[in-house]
Amino acid sequence: MKAPQFHINAAQAEDERRVAEIFSGAAEAFYLVDAKVTSRAENTLCSYAEGHGFAFALGAWRVGDRIVIGFNPGKGGNDQFFAVFDLVVTQLRTAFGDRFAAATAQNYVEVPNTLPQTDAARAIYRTLLKKTDRK
């Protein structure tokens, strides 16, 4: 397993809405950037990243009857990553109870980056690269 991942089993459409609310609340509290337009994973529900350069990211996508929650700590994570992680995991565990579980080596889902990169995503990456080059 590469990055922390959790699953919400037996997911329903209402669960997708609740996951999006939890992610959106964390994004607002920690000033995260909505990065859904940059996702190349099919059935992405939401995707957020820490500002310029995407130091860390988190997202959710639908795989069959599960919602997969993934956390990408970037280069090992930072204090803000761990604060976001704790908040989101606590809220998801509260909302979904026994249906919320940590992925195991047997059921870990690789991010399905199968969609082509969009023009909108390319524009975002160009903007981020320009800002990163100005250090």
Question: CA nearest 48: which of 66, 21, 11, 75?
Answer: 21
Domain boundaries, the chain: 5-133
- 85 to 12, 22, 59, 67: CA distances (angstroms): 23, 12, 11, 17
* Residue-wise pLDDT tens digits, 95-121: 999 999 999 999 998 876 654 565 665
Distance CA 87, CA 27 (A): 11
Q: What is the pTM of this model?
A: 0.80
Distance CA 63, CA 33 (A): 24
* Residue-wise pLDDT tens digits, 22-62: 999 999 999 998 888 776 678 899 999 887 555 788 999 99
The strand pairing partners of 8, in sequence order, are 67, 100
* Residue-wise pLDDT tens digits, 70-85: 998 887 778 889 999 9
